[in-house]
Amino acid sequence: MEHIETDLLVIGWGKAGKSLAKALGSAGRDVVLVEQSDQMYGGGCINIACVPTKALVHQAELRRGESPAEWFASAVGKRDALTDKLRAANHAMLENVDAVTLVDGRARFVGAREVEVSAGSDVLRISASTVVINTGTVPARPDLPGADGARVHDSRTIQHVDPLPQRLAVVGGGFIGMEFAGMFARFGSEVTLLDGADRLLPGEDTDVAEAVAAALADAGVEVIHGARAQEIVDHGDSVSVAYASGSVDADAVLLATGRRPATDGLDLAAAGVDVDERGYVVVDDQLRTSADGVFAVGDVNGGPQFTYISFDDHRIVLDQLAGTGTRRTTDRVAVPTTTFITPPLSRVGLSETEARAQGLDVHVVVKPVAEIAAMPRPKILGETHGLIKLVVDADTGLLLGATLFCVDSQELVNLVALAMRAGVRASDLRDSIWTHPSSTEALNEVLAGLPR
């Protein structure tokens, strides 16, 4: 058995891992990166998650009177061409760094900072001064009769469903469920979303949830609330999902019921790495695990499951390996999020409900997008669903949070988040000069509702 030693071993080719490998490898440190699938070079974001799903959302939004099945097949082809290109570019990015060795195979810990990598009958043992676990998450299949049926998909396999289902049942009313429901409705499927809660987005303000529900309804999505799936039955040429008060017939089912850590076969116990009750790797605020010299970055550590959080994870670990060692997860302030329904729903900071629950004295300004005269861009694009809502501290005038359910919100929320981190007052955003026509200029009109 061949045995190699290295400064850094990264298990999994996600955003944090590849960024660490490139940074330290470019600095001359010996790095080994192990990935079990050649279809995951570059990580989940570019291959199965953020990029390909948003490419499909975009193509769905472009469809007008074209044949649903043909348009979907063309969209999948464009999706695949994009991921192929990005995967190759990511591989080349590290392959061209002399100090980085790329290894294909499945890693398994055999001791502290020591793994065996298997690829067929070949086995390689790797010892490292530092190990970074970067294996991400995978869709969680519920313990549901029929959940393993041929017509049942998760968020990864549904992207290549063939043919486009005329009827799609989506189980799960969370962000992933809503995103795919809206997407497939725009591709031309009849979509029924089974939501176990009493309303969509139970953690959001009621007016926001109602605006999202209206947008999905206008896209053709039927939402059934209080519908917890109990059984999936394959009828050969169709499938049905039963819940307490009825059932839904469909051609395909999407299970959007959460994710779980991808740690199967790693044998974390052999390295002394602790996990929590859900199986996520336990880390401190500098992403150190219970094992000396072993870190866990990205989704596998149970933190917020976003690519940009994974990228910040790499900064924290890099700072310990080649910096001052002072960066921490607790440094993160005003972290924005976006759910890519149509239009995208973006959030940062506190909602109105959260602020009032904390007893804060706040001013709240909100306006439906269709009524914002100083924001013509949604009208130009023909997408006027949504609202813009901002929560402002009544004493200081500082922004406490924002909900941006509108065209371009994935960009606008970054500006608002930066303003919150920099201590920019809401009145400064209100009185600033913004380009026209843009989505940013909505801040002039919406924030004009603040007391002078």
Helix axes 50-62, 68-95, angle to 10 degrees: 150
Is 436 a catalytic site residue?
Answer: yes
Q: Which residues are annotated as a binding site?
A: 54, 172-179, 258, 299
Burial per residue of 205-221, b for 16 or more beta-carbon CB atoms within 10 angstroms, e otherwise: beebbebbbebbeebeb
Residue of 153, 314, 385, 436 with catalytic role: 436
Write out the chain's pLDDT in tens, 452 residues.
899 999 999 999 999 999 999 999 999 999 999 999 999 999 999 999 999 999 999 999 999 999 999 999 999 999 999 999 999 999 999 999 999 999 999 999 999 999 999 999 999 999 999 999 999 999 999 999 999 999 999 999 999 999 999 999 999 999 999 999 999 999 999 999 999 999 999 999 999 999 999 999 999 999 999 999 999 999 999 999 999 999 999 999 999 999 999 999 999 999 999 999 999 999 999 999 999 999 999 999 999 999 999 999 999 999 999 999 999 999 999 999 999 999 999 999 999 999 999 999 999 999 999 999 999 999 999 999 999 999 999 999 999 999 999 999 999 999 999 999 999 999 999 999 999 999 999 999 999 999 98
Q: Which residues are annotated as a binding site for FAD?
A: 54, 299
Both tokens of 63, joined, read 């469809």
Distance CA 289, CA 331 (A): 19
Distance CA 402, CA 335 (A): 11
Q: Which residues are annotated as a binding site for NAD(+)?
A: 172-179, 258
Domains in the chain, start-ordered, CATH in brackets?
2-138+260-331 (3.50.50.60), 152-257 (3.50.50.60), 338-449 (3.30.390.30)
- The closest alpha carbon to 343, from 113, 140, 125, 57, belongs to 57
Here the contacts of 66-71 (C-beta below 8 Å, separation 24 or greater) are 68/164, 68/187, 68/188, 68/189, 69/163, 69/164, 69/188, 71/187, 71/188
Both tokens of 164, joined, read 């486009």
What type of residue sits at position 277?
E
Chain center to CA of 65: 30
Give one word for 318, left, alpha or beta, with left for phi > 0 and alpha for psi -120 to 50: alpha
Here the contacts of 114-123 (C-beta below 8 Å, separation 24 or greater) are 114/271, 115/9, 115/11, 115/34, 116/1, 117/34, 123/1
